[in-house]
Amino acid sequence: MNSKPLDRHALGQALTRLANASTSDLMRSPQRTLALSAARRIGLTGAPGAGKSTLAGYLALHRAPGRRLGILAIDPSSPRSGGAILGDRIRMDELKGVSQLYIRSIGSRSASDGLSDNLPEMLDLMDEFEFNEVLLETVGVGQVEYAARVQVDTLVLLLLPESGDVVQAMKAGIMEMADIFVINKADLPGAQKMASDIKRISSLARHDEGSWRPSVLLASSSKPESIAALSEEIDRHQAWLDLNDRRKVLRQQRARYRLRRLIERRAGEVIARQDPSFFEAPMVQQLDLALQQIGRKS
């Protein structure tokens, strides 16, 4: 367990500063050294209304004893005003004992990949504050927002019974990315059929030798044993990662994502501030000028 108690005030302030950090701030900030005892990262993703917040709350309460566990919950920012209503925690705060957990709400800001601006840096900060485990709840996603894949070690995809034809499951995208499928609200009709359909599709998919075979579970917040089963499956996947030396690969993928997001955001800012006349110049010239400004540190 941790050497000193969590300074929630300092963490709260530091995360707010980080959420507001510009690309210039990030470019100036020193490279963090990778923490030796980094937190396990577990992602929960799925469509809006799939029950991510509620399940995150129950799962966190189940896994918290003996650990420093935090929840980062992302909600969409308005593309029009930049503001957001961050309401994921309403569901969690209603659970008994949840006040011991650290829950943080995050606006997606300019990110449209299911995550938020500066999320890699926020996850690093959780490591610095000596968390053992972080649950990351993404924005409600469709089929292609799978950036969470590389940010977490274990990705759990929540699906609802009768939420779509089996063909949906055959489509590419997020369905290929999950480590664990959870048919949530499994007390609704159609859950069992959905689970067997996903299992069948998943077994037909091509798997490289030695790769993880995604598991399919049923869950319901009214059934504590289903939460315990999900938690065990997460532990099994975490052990598999260690056994197969997968964490190094994940770290490399995270470093790529971080640089790509920084450049994308920077490019967006630079392009947004140009006058209309800028775009009348020949494309090569536009590109040259834009790239110069993207690389500038202030």
| 82 sits near other proteins (criterion: CB under 8 A) | yes
The Cα–Cα gap between 122 and 118 comes to: 6
Tell the smallest beta-carbon distance from residue 139 to other proteins (Å). 14
Is residue 104 within the footprint of other proteins (CB under 8 A)? yes
Quick one: tokens of 210? 């030695």
24 near other proteins, rule: CB under 8 A: no
Residue 195 in contact with residue 183, Cβ under 8 Å?
A: yes
**Which phi-psi region, left, alpha or beta, contains residue 9 (left: φ > 0; alpha: ψ -120 to 50)?**
alpha
Integer distance in angstroms from the first to the last C-alpha of the chain? 41
How distant is the alpha carbon of residue 164 from its chain centre? Answer: 23
Shortest separation between residue 33's beta carbon and other proteins, angstroms? 24
DSSP symbols for 192-246 = HHHHHHHHHHHHHS---TTPPPPEEEE--TT-HHHHHHHHHHHHHHHHHHHHTT-
Residue 40 contacts residue 81 (beta carbons within 8 Å): no
Is 8 near other proteins (CB under 8 A)? Answer: yes
Could you say whether residue 164 binds other proteins (CB under 8 A)?
no
- Dist. CA 127–CA 36, nearest whole Å: 9
For the CB of residue 120, give the shortest distance to other proteins in the complex, in Å. Answer: 18
3-class secondary structure, 121: helix
For other proteins, give the closer residue by CB, 63 or 89: 89
- C-alpha–C-alpha distance, residues 149 and 43, integer Å: 8
Confirm or reject binding of residue 102 to other proteins (CB under 8 A).
Answer: yes
| Of positions 54, 62, 67, 84, contacts other proteins by CB under 8 A | 84
Using CB under 8 A as the binding rule, whether residue 43 contacts other proteins is answered as no
Of 12 and 164, nearer to other proteins (C-beta) is: 12
Compute the least distance from the CB of residue 146 to other proteins, in Å.
Answer: 25
Of residues 2, 12, 200, 295, which one binds other proteins by CB under 8 A? 12
Q: Is 78 in the site for other proteins (CB under 8 A)?
A: yes
Cα–Cα distance measured from residue 263 to residue 258, given in angstroms and rounded to the nearest whole number: 9
- Using the Cα atoms of residue 190, residue 196, residue 201 and residue 206 in order, give the sign of their dihedral: positive
Least Cβ distance, residue 131 to other proteins (angstroms):
13
Q: How far is the CB of 162 from other proteins (least distance, A)?
A: 29
Q: Considering the complex, what minimum distance in angstroms separates the CB of residue 79 from other proteins? A: 12
3-class SS at 180?
strand
Q: Which is nearer to other proteins, 9 or 248 (CB)?
A: 9
To other proteins, the closest distance from the beta carbon of 285 in angstroms equals 25
> Is there binding between residue 83 and other proteins (CB under 8 A)?
yes
- 217 within 8 A of 181, measured Cβ to Cβ: yes
Among 3, 4, 5, 9, interactor with other proteins by CB under 8 A: 9
Q: Does 146 bind other proteins (CB under 8 A)?
A: no
Summarize as ranges the residues that interact with other proteins (CB under 8 A).
8-9, 11-16, 19-20, 77-78, 80-87, 89-90, 93-94, 99, 102-105, 107
